[in-house]
Homo-oligomer: A and B are copies of this chain.
Amino acid sequence: MRVKRIDHVAFCSPDVDAALPPWMKVLGLTAGHREQVAAQKTEAMFAHTQEHEGAKIELIAPMAGNEGLVKFNEKNGGRSTLHHVAFVVDDLAAALKELDAAGVPLIDKVPRPGLAGHMVAFLHPKATNGVLVELVAEHKGH
């Protein structure tokens, strides 16, 4: 498996609209692709630098019925809290097979569609001492 770069860092909070302005004001980030991901019961959006590929964060908030993320936010007092770190890999399906064969605990054993149509997969956080890692297939644009 070849990890190429960090794709984005994702923060969860109760409200995407409330979480966005500080990143625009403080770091000058621009609001990007936004989507309600029904399968995950999340509202999610990217905010990125002008160079677009240079730095990207993802803001996540729970939609109705997402008790897990509601509890996550309550535990963190409503602050923006790290949800996951995403790395781009050159061949996602092969990477997952390789990790599975090596006994690395995975949430997704095969790629599935993520935000903005990217193919993604999550490792189990116990694979990396509690940090939730997402792998993202190589892509262009957002």
A contact residues vs B (CB 8 Å cutoff): 1-6, 9, 11, 13, 18-19, 22-23, 25-29, 49-51, 54-57, 76, 79-82, 85, 87-88, 99, 102, 104, 123, 127-131, 133
**B3 engages A54 (CB within 8 Å):** yes
Secondary structure of the A contact surface, majority rule:
mixed
Q: How many copies does the complex hold?
A: 2
Q: From residue A10, how far is it (CB to closest CB) to chain B in Å? A: 11
Q: Which of B5, B26, B81, B128 contacts A49 (CB 8 A)?
A: B5
Q: What are the nearest 10 A-B pairs in CB distance?
A: A79-B130, A5-B54, A82-B82, A80-B129, A6-B55, A22-B128, A5-B55, A3-B49, A3-B27, A4-B54
